[in-house]
Amino acid sequence: MSKIYDANKAIINNWNIEALDDESRRINAASGEENQYFNIGTFYQLGSRCDQSAFNLESSKERFDTAQAAADQELEINGNTSAKFLQQAQRLAQAEAHYENAKMLYDLDVDLFNSISGFTWQLGAKIKGDYYGRKWYQQQKEARQARRILAPKAPTEAEVAARRAEMLKRSA
């Protein structure tokens, strides 16, 4: 499974670091509060991928659960040799494969978000019914819509290398 994260390492190695704010911009110097717009472009860019992956994961989980229930019911009623059960078993296997693929893509997108954006997906939020962070993301988007700050200065080569190394270290 760790091989799949090689794709994220390639993205990190090619990520244009100038899209990221300097870490010193995380806190608003005037107010002392967290800067709502810290890495906002990257937050939306990678967060929307996580949100879409979460939606796909929720949908594929529902399809898997429905296929599981149908196969179990058919097995109980007609046994494991009925044509309908064999069809249901095939649908169940396909639904499970879709679910596993959706989970893998979700995990990759969350790892990429956590590694690059400077934020942690869901940040330990416990929102009822929000298993994959979609409600958390919606709340975070709404919280970031009030005011703007000045853009950061361009990073030096050494800062770019240090930031990239830190992102690679955070990657799975």
Write the pLDDT tens digit of every residue in 52-101. Answer: 999 999 999 999 999 999 999 999 999 999 999 999 999 999 999 999 99
- Give pLDDT tens digits for 18-32: 999 999 999 988 888
Rounded CA-CA distance 152/36 in Å is: 14
pLDDT tens digits for range 105-163 = 999 999 999 999 999 999 878 888 888 999 999 999 988 886 555 545 667 888 888 98
Phi/psi for 34 (5° steps) reads: -65, 135
| 130 Cβ contact list (under 8 Å, min separation 6) | 122, 136
